Structure 1
Amino acid sequence: MPRIVDHDQRRAELTEAVWSLIREQGLAGVTIRNLSQRSGWSSGAIRHYLPNREAILAFAAGQIGERARQRIHAVPVTGDQVQDFLNCLEVTLPLDGEGRVWLEVWLVFVGAAVSDQDFADAEGVLYRDLNAVFVEALGQFDRRGWLPAHTPGAAATEIHALLDGLSVHLLLHQITREQARVTLRAAVSRMVVGPAASP
């Protein structure tokens, strides 16, 4: 009987191996040979999934967005819509070990995107995906009268910019996790007035 291959598990293994190379050696350290050594896979097994270096880097960039989506969807729903929104925003920050890993990789790709359009396109996909999540949530607040001074799109842009800035500051150890949380909560409280404004 043929062995059943868990492709999701294989993908997760490759993600962790590629990301560890990027965090330690930057994008220049990502080669099929290095990935083979890091993952314990043969070069042929890697090429079965990712045939060349460009495919490996595209995969690594795409997995950043996938990890963000997984973390957001795993946030428990409390019934307090503003608090639930804040909780979703917080899991996109490097406030724990897992969050720090994928955001360190994100920062490497952001740096590369300045001069490489392919990486800029990959970062753009992540930005658009997250922005769409923010716009949808803020649109619900707007329909309830909880977003009096912003359109959902403008509010999403402002929050997204704040998240990016806080992420960089955290990764560079310039602020504490608590400072990041307080700053984010203050920004959302100024923007979203909450149930008291509901008609």
Structure 2
Amino acid sequence: MPKQVDHDQRRAELAQAVWRLIRRSGLEGVTIRALAEESGWSSGAVRHYLPSRAAVLAFAAEQVSAQAEAQLRQLPLHSTPRQNLLNFLEATLPLSAESREWLEVWLAFVGASVGDPQLAGVQGLTYRDLNAALGEILTQLQAHGWTLAGPPQEAALDLQAALDGLSVHLLLGVITPEQARAALERTIDRLLTAP
């Protein structure tokens, strides 16, 4: 009887191997051969799932969005909308080992995307997904009587810009998690007023 292969598990293993490569060697260190060595697979097995370097990079970038979304969906809800928003925002910062890992990969893609339109397009998925989620949260808060300092999409952009800056500062170690949390709270308080 042929061996049953869990393709989702195999793709998850590849994602972890690609992320280790990116975190250790940057995007330039990602090749099919390097991925085969890192994963312990043959180059042929890697190519079965990801036939080219471009496919490997696109897959790694898509996994950043998937990991972020999975982490955000697991957040518990609290009694206050402000605390729920703060928890959502904090979950996108590199404050845990897991989020630090995918944000290090995200930062590698951000740097490389500046000069590569194809990577910029893939990276744009993460931005659009987060912006849409923030816009939706802010629209719901507004519907429940919260006052926003501008339209929901503008406030979402302001929050997203704060998250990007805080993420970079945390990854570089120039601010502490406590400073990042305090900055987020100040940003929320500038953008939102409770009913």
TM-score exceeds 0.5? yes
Q: Provide the residue aligned with 2:19 in structure 1.
A: 19
CA distance in 2, matches of 1:171, 1:148: 30
Does 1:191 find its partner at 2:187?
A: no
Contact 2:146 2:192 in 1 (8 A): yes
Q: Provide the residue aligned with 1:2 in structure 2.
A: 2
Contact 1:138 1:147 in 2 (8 A): no
Contact 2:148 2:155 in 1 (8 A): no
Deviation at 1:9, TM superposition (A): 1.5
Q: Provide the residue aligned with 1:61 in structure 2.
A: 61
Misfit runs of 4+, over 3 Å: none
Deviations for 1:112-148, whole angstroms, at most 9, x for unmatched residues? 1111001111111110011000000000111122124
Does 1:117 find its partner at 2:141?
A: no
Summarize the alignment of residues 30-69 of structure 1 with structure 2, pairs less than 5 Å apart: 30-69=30-69
Deviation at 1:8, TM superposition (A): 2.1
- Percent identity for Structure 1 against Structure 2: 55
Extract unaligned runs of 5+ from structure 1.
none
Extract unaligned runs of 5+ from structure 2.
none
CA distance in 2, matches of 1:135, 1:8: 31
Deviation at 1:93, TM superposition (A): 0.3
CA distance in 2, matches of 1:62, 1:179: 30
CA distance in 2, matches of 1:67, 1:148: 29
Summarize the alignment of residues 136-151 of structure 1 with structure 2, pairs less than 5 Å apart: 136-151=136-151
Specify the code of the residue in structure 2 equivalent to 1:122: V
Specify the code of the residue in structure 2 equivalent to 1:84: N
Contact 2:149 2:190 in 1 (8 A): no
Q: Provide the residue aligned with 2:182 in structure 1.
A: 182
Q: Provide the residue aligned with 2:96 in structure 1.
A: 96
Deviations for 1:31-80, whole angstroms, at most 9, x for unmatched residues? 11111111111111111100011100110111111111011101112232
How many positions carry a matched residue from both structures?
195
